[in-house]
Amino acid sequence: MNPSLDAQLADWEMVVGLEVHVQLKTLTKCFCPCPVAFGALPNANTCPVCLALPGALPVLNARAVELAARASLALGCTVHETSIFARKNYFYPDSPKGYQISQFDRPLATSGHVQVGIRADGSSRSIGITRVHMEEDAGKSVHDRFPGVTAIDLNRAGTPLVEIVSEPDMRSAAEAGSYLRTLKQILEYVDVSDVNMEEGSLRVDANVSARRRGDTRLGTKTEVKNMNSFSGVERALDLEFRRQVALLEAGGRIEQQTMLWDADAQEVRASRAKEASHDYRYFPEPDLPPLTLSSTWIDGVRKALPELPASRRARFLTEFELSAYDVDVLISTFGLGDYYEAVARAHGSPKSSANWVMGEVLSHLKRSGDKIADFPVSPSSLARLLDLVRDGVVSHTAGKQILQRMISVGGQPDETAVAEGLLQVDDGGQLATWLDAVIAEMPLESERYRKGEARLAGVLIGAVMKKSGGRADPRKLGQLLAARLTP
Using CA atoms, how far apart are residues 46 and 36, in angstroms rounded to an integer?
10
Mean pLDDT, the chain, integer: 91
If you average pLDDT over residues 381-410, what whole number do you get? Answer: 93
Distances, alpha carbon 407 to alpha carbons 35, 47, 389, 422, in Å: 36, 45, 17, 16
Beta strands 78-79; 109-116: pairing state: antiparallel
Using CA atoms, how far apart are residues 326 and 328, in angstroms rounded to an integer?
6
Whether pLDDT at 70 is above 90:
yes
What are the tens digits of pLDDT across the range 168-222?
999 999 999 999 999 999 999 999 999 998 888 999 999 999 999 999 999 999 9
Helix (H) or strand (E) holding 133: strand 125-136
Residue 426: which pLDDT band, with cuts at 50, 70 and 90?
Answer: low
Using CA atoms, how far apart are residues 202 and 425, in angstroms rounded to an integer?
54
**What pLDDT, on the 0 to 100 scale, is given for residue 218?**
92
CATH code of the domain made up of 428-484? 1.10.10.410
Residue 103 has φ and ψ, to the nearest 5°, of -130, 145
Helix (H) or strand (E) holding 415: helix 413-419
Using CA atoms, how far apart are residues 69 and 30, in angstroms rounded to an integer?
14
Where are the CATH 1.10.10.410 domain residues in the chain?
A: 428-484
Asked if 127 and 113 touch (Cβ cutoff 8 Å), the reply is yes
If you average pLDDT over residues 365-385, what whole number do you get? Answer: 96
**What pLDDT, on the 0 to 100 scale, is given for residue 427?**
66
Residue from 79, 67, 57, 70 nearest 27 by CA:
67
Whether pLDDT at 431 is above 90:
no
| SS3 of residue 162 by DSSP | strand
Using CA atoms, how far apart are residues 312 and 137, in angstroms rounded to an integer?
33
Query: Minimum mean pLDDT among 53-57, 387-391, 438-442: which range?
Result: 438-442
Using CA atoms, how far apart are residues 233 and 226, in angstroms rounded to an integer?
9
Beta bridge partners of 116: 125
Residue 338: which pLDDT band, with cuts at 50, 70 and 90?
Answer: very high
Beta bridge partners of 113: 128
**What pLDDT, on the 0 to 100 scale, is given for residue 480?**
84
Using CA atoms, how far apart are residues 484 and 207, in angstroms rounded to an integer?
71
Residue 292, Cα to own-chain centre: how many angstroms? 32
Residue 473: which pLDDT band, with cuts at 50, 70 and 90?
Answer: confident
What are the tens digits of pLDDT across the range 130-164?
999 999 999 998 887 888 888 999 999 999 999 99
Residue 268 has φ and ψ, to the nearest 5°, of -110, 130
Beta bridge partners of 8: none
Beta strands 160-166; 12-23: pairing state: antiparallel
Distances, alpha carbon 232 to alpha carbons 177, 264, 266, 404, in Å: 9, 10, 9, 37
The conformation of residue 456, written as its DSSP 8-state character, comes to H
Asked if 268 and 261 touch (Cβ cutoff 8 Å), the reply is yes
If you average pLDDT over residues 274-279, what whole number do you get? Answer: 63
Asked if 342 and 379 touch (Cβ cutoff 8 Å), the reply is yes
HSE at residue 176, side-chain half, CA atoms within 13 A, is 30
Burial grade of 119 (CB within 10 A; 0-12, 13-18, 19 or more):
exposed
Residue from 355, 318, 321, 325 nearest 340 by CA:
355
- Whole-model pTM: value is 0.87
Angle value at C-alpha 50, between 49 and 53, nearest 5 degrees: 55
Max intra-chain CA distance, the chain: 97
| SS3 of residue 459 by DSSP | helix
Type of residue numbered 44 = A
Name the CA radius of gyration of the chain, rounded. Answer: 30
Using CA atoms, how far apart are residues 196 and 188, in angstroms rounded to an integer?
10
Type of residue numbered 271 = S
